[in-house]
């Protein structure tokens, strides 16, 4: 009797373990960093320009609350003046960018992506890539810039190596561009303090009002990619130090 109870308990434990394992494996969220040198990505191709899409993905937050008219905006179609959040595309609803035509005001709007370090190790460096896509021109040089907030210590641009800003081209009259203007960005971030296992980091894109007068452009972000990069090894640092010493001694000759 005691033996069969033990056996049943064992079977139930194994089943529970399998269920937990399957649940874990079934997780498709891009909210976690589970290994180094493996990009975690978002291409927004399922974004339908609705708040519901964002609500389904709690790793994202977007501070601009207007989704009216929202939906998809076709940059190859007729120009519309409405300020709103949009899924931006150019005659191809399978290739979407997350964007907006933001109002003319000093308010900044932020798209934030929260990722948790589940590598089991501390992370000292990240490589982050993204595209900025412009679909229309207007009087203002709308800005999209990048910053980050490690372990709730506050948003910063500390340690970002590379250009983190794109400004829209301006033009008159307000109109859709003949093609999508894509600017690739790739930066390395050297954190001031390691992001410990289990800690989270926010990567943020600021949709800001640029210089000029009049309206902002239809502009968005696409192809986000975040990768944890191992810190340089002690051996590499030693080699670097030797190279520097060799360089100094050569210059002294």
Rounded Cα gap, residues 24 and 163, in angstroms: 37
Residue nearest Ca ion, CB atom distance: 222
Rounded Cα gap, residues 197 and 27, in angstroms: 19
Sequence-distant (6+) residues with CB within 8 A of 31 are: 58, 59, 114, 115, 116
Return the residues of window 25-44 that contact Ca ion according to CB under 5 A.
Answer: 43-44
Q: Which stretch of DSSP H or E encloses residue 104? A: none
| Whole-number Cα distances in Å, 97 to 56, 93, 105, 133 | 17, 10, 23, 7
Residue with tokens 């120009």, as numbered in its chain = 79
Nearer to Ca ion, 130 or 209 (CB): 130
Question: How many residues form the binding site for Ca ion (CB under 5 A)?
Answer: 5
Q: Which stretch binds Ca ion (CB under 5 A): 24-32, 91-99, 120-128, 140-148?
A: 91-99
Q: Which stretch binds Ca ion (CB under 5 A): 78-86, 95-103, 118-126, 209-217?
A: 95-103
* Contact pick of 31, 32, 45, 160 for Ca ion (by CB under 5 A): 45
* Contact pick of 42, 143, 174, 222 for Ca ion (by CB under 5 A): 222
Q: Which stretch binds Ca ion (CB under 5 A): 57-65, 96-104, 206-214, 241-249?
A: 96-104
| Whole-number Cα distances in Å, 115 to 88, 106, 122 | 25, 28, 14
Nearer to Ca ion, 97 or 189 (CB): 97
Residues at the contact surface with Ca ion, assessed by CB under 5 A: 43-45, 97, 222
């Amino acid at each position: 009797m005691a033996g069969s109870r033990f056996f049943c308990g064992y079977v139930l434990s194994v089943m529970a373990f399998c269920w937990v394992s399957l649940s874990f494996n079934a997780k498709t969220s891009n909210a976690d960093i589970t290994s180094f040198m493996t990009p975690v990505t978002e291409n927004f191709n399922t974004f339908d320009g609705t708040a519901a899409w964002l609500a389904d993905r709690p790793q994202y937050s977007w501070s601009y609350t207007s989704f009216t008219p929202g939906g998809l905006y076709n940059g190859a179609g007729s120009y519309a003046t409405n300020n709103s959040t949009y899924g931006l595309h150019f005659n191809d609803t399978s290739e979407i960018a997350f964007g907006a035509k933001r109002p003319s005001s000093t308010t900044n709007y932020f798209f934030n992506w929260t990722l948790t370090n589940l590598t089991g190790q501390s992370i000292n460096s990240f490589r982050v890539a993204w595209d900025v896509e412009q679909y229309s021109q207007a009087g203002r040089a709308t800005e999209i810039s990048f910053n980050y907030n490690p372990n709730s210590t506050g948003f910063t641009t500390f340690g970002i190596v590379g250009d983190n800003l794109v400004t829209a081209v301006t033009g008159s009259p307000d109109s859709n561009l003949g093609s999508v203007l894509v600017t690739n960005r790739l930066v390395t971030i050297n954190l001031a303090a390691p992001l410990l296992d289990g800690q989270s980091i926010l990567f943020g894109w600021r949709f800001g009002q640029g210089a000029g007068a009049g309206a902002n452009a239809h502009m968005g972000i696409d192809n986000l990619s975040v990768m944890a990069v191992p810190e340089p090894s002690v051996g590499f640092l030693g080699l670097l130090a030797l190279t520097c010493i060799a360089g100094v001694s050569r210059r002294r000759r």
